[in-house]
Structure 1
Amino acid sequence: MDYFPLFCRLQGKRCLLVGGGDVAERKARLLLAAGADLHVGALHFSPAFRQWADNGELSLIVGAFDAAWLDACWLVVAATDNDAVNQQVAEAAEARRIFCNLVDAPEQASAIMPSVIDRSPLLVAVSSGGCAPVLARLLREKLESILPQHLGQLASLAGTLRARVKQRFASAAQRRYFWERFFTSDRLAQTLANGDSARAEQITASLFSDDLPAQGVVTLVGAGPGDAGLLTLKGLQQIQQADVILYDRLVSEEVLNLVRRDAERIFVGKRAGHHCVPQAEINQLLLEQAQRGKRVVRLKGGDPFIFGRGGEELEMLAQHQIPFSVVPGVTAASGCSAYSGIPLTHRDHAQSVRLVTGHLQQEKVLEWQKLAAEQQTLVFYMGLSQAPHIQRQLMQHGMRADMPVALVENGTSTQQRVVTGTLDRLGELARQVASPSLIIIGSVVSLRDRLRWF
């Protein structure tokens, strides 16, 4: 993040604008709208500045820039058509630790002015860090078209209700639930848009009188294999609404960055050969948090129902009559194969796919003879440490030694790495990658050189 986004209260605070032309006019309008005590210094001023000054809306300082103009200022904007003067203003502001915005020189500015969507008191700011102001403007225009004008009224009404909500609802979770219903009430929004304040009060009163659920809920959400872009829309909605997030090590940092910032995060990850939190303890955490009335999301890498032990967790919740739901995710087999240029099925190579756990404690249920059959693709999850055993068993049961294999490390992430070879070298290849890695075995792997896109 190149800039820290911050909304500043400038009402009654002295601000300096250096420049008196067209560009400075645009900056002046924003500062005046924010209620700043605006002082404008320049050799010459446009008619607009003269008019503002005559109306008592701002003060003019006639002359060449003087560092003394900065005295008692909270913010400075340099908007002249002279780069040397703008630089002089920036240096003087920097020496006094005053934030300074420079027109057309974002790399030298300590502050930037974003494009603003004004639904006061609701404000939305869009910034490209000065790199692409036209793009920021286009985005602002798009947001303008989809954000209703009555949002400001809704936000203002909410401001008058905060003390009442805090008194009515004891817990933060209940208050959050109330506000979500308040802001998503179509009836309330329409009533405000129509200017019917009496009806708006009736609808608001009904929201206060409705009972809120005393018991929490649990949602299992598949986070996908790594790339945050593969998170489903419903998954995003759930993690934005959650009070508590239980997540494992396969959930990428990019996905975690989408979690609501005030949500409690509990790491329950497991690493190969070392179980950080036993499954029974994870189950108990889910139960306890839900019984406290929390909305709990169990965020799992990949898909909760494909080697994610989601079924075990839901069985426990069902036993205790805790409401639950499941949001599927893109499983590692689909994500890693697609990002590696390896189709899981292909008319000429594989007519079926088998997803197999590499935890070979379940050895007795693995039918190696069927796994070694032709015209199919095998995908081994969590099989890195067992790669030599997988190689040996498949070859002993008839799979050819030169069958193409691929190992995908950190699949779909920016650190993805793919190692390819043949089955008779699988154990050796496994030593070249780190966990988490997925093993894909089948003739479809031979298509990678033609189909991969990065």
Structure 2
Amino acid sequence: MDYLPIFLKISQQPCLVVGGGQVAKRKVTLLLKAHAKVTVLAPEILSELKTQVLAAGGQILECAYHAHYLAQQRLVIAATDDESLNQQVFNDCELANIPVNVVDAPALCRFIFPSIIDRSPVVIAISSSGQSPVLARLLRTRLESIIPAAYGQLAAFVGKFRLEVQRQLPDTPNRRAFWEKELQGRFAELVYNGRYDAAEQHLAQALATHQQHAGEVYLVGAGPGDPDLLTFKALRLMQQADVVVYDRLVSQPILDLCRRDADMIYVGKARASHAVPQEDINQLLVRLAQEGKRVCRLKGGDPFIFGRGGEEIEELAAAGIAFQVVPGITAASGCSAYAGIPLTHRDYAQSVRFVTGHLKDGTPNLPWSELVHERQTLVLYMGLVGLAEIANQLIANGMRPDMPVALVSHGTRPNQQIVTGEIATIAEKVQASGIKAPTLTIIGDVVKLQDKLAWFGQK
């Protein structure tokens, strides 16, 4: 982040605006909405700006700028068309450690004004870090249409009862679960419809009958890496979980979408290097849920395709823990789509088979003869290290040496790489490329389409 997003409480605090034109007027309007004590300083000031400031109890100074006017100011805005004056205001504020904004000059700003959606007391701020104010405004317009004005009424109503709910439900996770339920149920609907007495009665009854939230586990497929491939349900559960238990294949942009105050527990597993053994992960999920926490077990791809999700829910079921399973886009679908390789095609493949490329005790452990089929696409997960042995075994069991192969590294992510070749020589090409795990290997004539279709799938 180039800027730290914060909300400043400037009610009845002195704020200085240097400039007296239309730009200054727009900034003054925002400051007055936040009930600031505004002083406007400029040799010439618009009459309507004077009226606006004086009516709000502010001060008008029709004179030239001097640094001594910065004394006691909480923040300063320079809104003039004089670049040298704007620079001087910025320099003086820097010396005085006063936050300063120079309009339309991001390099001279210690804070910037975002696009604002005002549903007071709910306020949503959108910023492009000064790079594209028009884009920020377009985003604001889109959000304005989907955020009802009644959200502000709901927030204000909740504020009246916040301390009472906190007193009766001192446990933070339990209290959070209470509010999440009520803010998405009948209580919220009553407030939206202006039935405040009924809403108050409902809230009192809900508080009196509320029980300690039972722990639950959400087994969520995070997909192959692109956060745009998450399902709506996955995102919702990620946002409400108290704890997120995640593995190595979950990308950072997806982790950034989890609730910010959730506890993050890494249990990543790489080949021959398990941060936490699977048995310990199973027990961890049970323990956290038994503590009454909502646990998001975030797994790369789909939990039930080489994700060992079945083992985890077996343990949860045996312990009587409630759980939900949210499918994710498996790596085979995501990587092939982004690489421009259809897994099936009327002219090339009428079936597709998924297998794991892990080798047991250093030796192949796959039904090789079943995997060799002329009109079938073969997809190998985690096959990078054993690629040479896999290729040799497939050829030895009848696969033609010129069968097309594609190896996709970090599929669907910005650093996606693709190496294509033939099964007889793919291991050498991959080694020379320096490609890194995680990878997915696609074997079959459908790979011939990659050159033609890749530009559709590449981001």
* Residue number in structure 2 paired with 1:355: 354
* Residue number in structure 2 paired with 1:79: 79
CA distance in 2 between partners of 1:192 and 1:222 (Å) = 36
* Residue number in structure 1 paired with 2:440: 438
CA distance in 2 between partners of 1:355 and 1:5 (Å) = 45
Identity of aligned residues (%): 51
How much has 1:189 moved relative to structure 2? 3.0
* Residue number in structure 2 paired with 1:257: 256
How much has 1:430 moved relative to structure 2? 4.1
Q: May I ask how many residue pairs the two structures share in their alignment? A: 453
Contact 1:127/1:136, CA 8 A, preserved across alignment = yes
CA distance in 2 between partners of 1:8 and 1:437 (Å) = 47
Query: Does the C-alpha gap of structure 1 residues 148 and 360 become closer, same or farther in structure 2, counting only changes over 3 Å?
Result: same
Matched residue type, 2:412: T
Q: How does 1:270-281 map to 2 (within 5 A)?
A: 270-281=269-280
Matched residue type, 2:438: P
Secondary structure of 2:92's counterpart equals helix
CA distance in 1 between partners of 2:190 and 2:213 (Å) = 29
Q: How does 1:278-357 map to 2 (within 5 A)?
A: 278-357=277-356
Query: Does the C-alpha gap of structure 1 residues 328 and 70 become closer, same or farther in structure 2, counting only changes over 3 Å?
Result: same
Cα deviation code 1:94-148 (max 9, x no counterpart): 2222111111222322211112112221111112222222332232233223222
CA distance in 1 between partners of 2:77 and 2:83 (Å) = 13
How much has 1:5 moved relative to structure 2? 0.8
Query: Does the C-alpha gap of structure 1 residues 292 and 238 become closer, same or farther in structure 2, counting only changes over 3 Å?
Result: same
Secondary structure of 1:15's counterpart equals strand
* Residue number in structure 1 paired with 2:451: 449
Secondary structure of 1:146's counterpart equals coil
CA distance in 1 between partners of 2:66 and 2:222 (Å) = 56
Cα deviation code 1:265-322 (max 9, x no counterpart): 1111111111221111010001101111111111000000000011111111111221
Secondary structure of 2:418's counterpart equals strand
Contact 2:182/2:188, CA 8 A, preserved across alignment = no
Query: Does the C-alpha gap of structure 1 residues 300 and 120 become closer, same or farther in structure 2, counting only changes over 3 Å?
Result: same
Secondary structure of 1:259's counterpart equals coil
CA distance in 1 between partners of 2:53 and 2:294 (Å) = 55
Matched residue type, 2:273: H
Q: Is 1:137 matched with 2:126?
A: no
* Residue number in structure 1 paired with 2:39: 39
* Residue number in structure 2 paired with 1:180: 180
TM-score in terms of structure 2 length: 0.95
* Residue number in structure 2 paired with 1:191: 190
How much has 1:42 moved relative to structure 2? 0.4
CA distance in 2 between partners of 1:142 and 1:438 (Å) = 38
CA distance in 2 between partners of 1:263 and 1:313 (Å) = 21
Q: Is 1:400 matched with 2:411?
A: no
CA distance in 2 between partners of 1:170 and 1:34 (Å) = 32
Secondary structure of 1:384's counterpart equals coil
Query: Does the C-alpha gap of structure 1 residues 434 and 53 become closer, same or farther in structure 2, counting only changes over 3 Å?
Result: closer
Contact 2:235/2:257, CA 8 A, preserved across alignment = yes
Contact 1:150/1:189, CA 8 A, preserved across alignment = no
CA distance in 2 between partners of 1:165 and 1:39 (Å) = 41
Matched residue type, 2:111: A
CA distance in 2 between partners of 1:56 and 1:5 (Å) = 27
CA distance in 2 between partners of 1:175 and 1:440 (Å) = 49
Cα deviation code 1:154-207 (max 9, x no counterpart): 21222222222222224222111101012112x333432343332121111122
Matched residue type, 2:445: S
CA distance in 2 between partners of 1:282 and 1:430 (Å) = 33
Task: Single out whichever of 370-379 and 300-309 deviates more from structure 2.
Answer: 370-379
Q: How does 1:59-70 map to 2 (within 5 A)?
A: 59-70=59-70
Matched residue type, 1:111: F
CA distance in 1 between partners of 2:299 and 2:166 (Å) = 34
* Residue number in structure 1 paired with 2:155: 155
How much has 1:405 moved relative to structure 2? 0.9
Contact 1:15/1:39, CA 8 A, preserved across alignment = yes
Secondary structure of 2:174's counterpart equals helix
Cα deviation code 1:248-274 (max 9, x no counterpart): 000001100011011111111111111
Gaps of 5+ in 2: none
Cα deviation code 1:386-421 (max 9, x no counterpart): 112211110011101111111111111111111111
Gaps of 5+ in 1: none
Contact 2:38/2:53, CA 8 A, preserved across alignment = no
RMSD (Å), alpha carbons: 1.7
Secondary structure of 1:307's counterpart equals coil
Matched residue type, 1:286: L
Secondary structure of 1:361's counterpart equals coil
CA distance in 2 between partners of 1:416 and 1:356 (Å) = 21
How much has 1:358 moved relative to structure 2? 1.1
